[in-house]
Amino acid sequence: MPHTNAPVRVAGTWLAIASSMLIPAVILHGPLAADMGDQMQMISGGATQWTVVHWLSAAALSLYAVAGLIMLSSASHLTRGWWTMTAWAVLIVSALWTMTTAVVEATVITRAAVSGAREMFEAWWAFAEGKASGIAFLSLAVAVIAGNEARSPERAVPAWSAWIGMATGIAAFTGWALGRWLGVELGNFLWFVSLVLTSVWTLWFGLALMRSRVNADTATRV
């Protein structure tokens, strides 16, 4: 039965749109503070920006999930392997996990910070930070996808760029683990910079997939 790579192009479109939204959201978000009081003050001092950033993030992460769902139905080389299929599934789940965090931060956490309700803030922040760990696994999923792309003869982007995407995804995961799980302050900055770069790579990758040609043969090419 003939295949086309139309689902890949559609998934690439949503991946590019999601990435173009997440890049400014992460830049405006900035690194997380190591101290809870500092974080609360940061939010209360820029409540409007914090709210807008997290609604934008929620929309972007929802589109990452849409891209992943479409990609899993594409039957392309991007989902043929055990690891790559799992990576796209993890990307979907991680995006949805983190999307709920963004909604909570845009609403109840912002209100708690502005009103000075420290106990409420800390309780909701603990919930949000646990769910936000999804962004670390989303970054790791991107690293696996990029690594597969670098090794594939059917790649849509140059191998060197795919290796960079893999490296930034691993760095973003490492930064989150250091900063949020182990309390190493430098990890917060590493996560921030690496996540921006990872999002830039997924934007490039999505744009490349958008331009992929329709294939009328039985083997799907990207």
pLDDT band at 214 (very low <50, low <70, confident <90, very high): very low
CA distance linking residue 206 with residue 18, whole number of Å: 9
Per-residue tokens: 180: 């949020």
Task: State mean pLDDT over 126-136.
Answer: 94
pLDDT tens-place string over residues 159-206? 999 999 999 999 999 999 999 999 999 999 999 999 999 999 999 999
Q: Are 169 and 146 in contact (CB under 8 A)?
A: yes
Between 28 and 211, where is the model more confident?
28
pLDDT tens-place string over residues 14-62? 999 999 999 999 999 999 998 899 999 999 999 999 999 999 999 999 9
pLDDT reported for residue 2: 38
Mean pLDDT of the chain: 92
Q: What letter does residue 35 receive in the DSSP assignment?
A: S
pLDDT reported for residue 75: 83
Query: What 3-state DSSP class applies to 14?
Result: helix
pLDDT reported for residue 34: 86
Q: Which of 74, 33, 18 is nearest to 185 (CA)?
A: 33
Domain positions in the chain are 6-210
pLDDT band at 219 (very low <50, low <70, confident <90, very high): very low
Mention every residue, 6+ apart, whose C-beta is less than 8 A from residue 131: 97, 98, 100, 101, 104
Question: Is residue 4's pLDDT more than 60?
Answer: no
pLDDT reported for residue 213: 61
pLDDT reported for residue 163: 97
Q: Are 66 and 90 in contact (CB under 8 A)?
A: no
pLDDT > 90 fraction of the chain, expressed in percent and rounded = 84
